[in-house]
Amino acid sequence: MFPSLLSELHERLNQAVKKGMFLHEGIEAFSRILSSQIDRVIVTTRDVEEIIAEYDLRRSKYEQTISQVDPSKEIYPRPDLSTTYVAPRNKIEQQIADIWQELLGIEKIGIYDDFFEFGGHSLLATQVTSRLREIFQVQISLQEIFDAKTIAEISQKIEAVDTGVAENKSNTIKPASRQAYRVNL
C-alpha cells in the first residue's frame, strides 16, 4: 500500500509541475510586476475565472456537507454567566439568538450575553457572519462581530443598515474590475 501512495503523490507532483510556469515565463512576469504601478497581482497559468468557478463549486459542496450535519445535536442548558437572561425583543434579535443557539449548542441565549463568554471563537464567528449575511442581506464583517459581542449590538447594526443610518466603516473586500489591472502586451 505504501508504494501506491508514493506513486500517487509522485503523479500529483508531476501534474502540478505541468501546470506551472517555465523559468523564462516567471522572469517575464516578475519583470512586468516590478515595472508596473499595480498594488496587487495574481500570477497564474490558469484562467482566473476557472479558478473562481472551482472555488465556488468546492464551497457549495462544503456548504451542502455542513447543512447535512445532524441538527439534533445536544443542546446544553444556559451556563452561569455575568449577565442575566433577557429574551429577544423583536424578530431580528430572535433570528440572531436562533443562529447562536444552533452554532453554540446552548439554549436560552439572551440579547446582552457575550458571544465569547459562551465559548464562541473566530471560526464560529465566521459562521455567524455568513448566516447574518445570508438571512439579512447585509455586509457585516468578522471584525464587527468581534466589536459587537452581543445580540443587541449586532441587531442595532443590522437595523441601522436597514434604515440607511449605518456608517460605512467596514473594511470588507470589494471586487475590482478584472480589466482594471490587466496589462495588454
Residues 6 or more apart whose CB falls under 8 angstroms from that of 89 comprise: 111
Q: Give me the pLDDT at residue 87, please.
A: 93
Q: What is the DSSP string of 71-101?
A: TTPPPBPPPP-SS------SHHHHHHHHHHH
According to the CATH classification, is domain 91-163 in 1.20.272.10? no
Q: Give me the pLDDT at residue 75, please.
A: 80
Q: Give me the pLDDT at residue 169, please.
A: 46
The grid cell for 122 is: 473566530
List average pLDDT for each run of 10 residues in the chain, which is 185 residues long.
Answer: 77 82 87 87 84 85 69 75 91 93 89 89 89 87 87 90 56 48 56
What is the spatial distance between Cα 108 and Cα 17, in angstroms, rounded to a whole number?
54
Q: Give me the pLDDT at residue 89, please.
A: 94
Domain range list for the chain: 2-69, 91-163
Q: Give me the pLDDT at residue 71, please.
A: 55
Q: What is the pTM of this model?
A: 0.52
Q: Give me the pLDDT at residue 140, please.
A: 83
Cβ proximity of 59 and 52 under 8 Å: no
Show the CA angle centred on residue 181, arms to residues 177 and 183, nearest 5°: 135
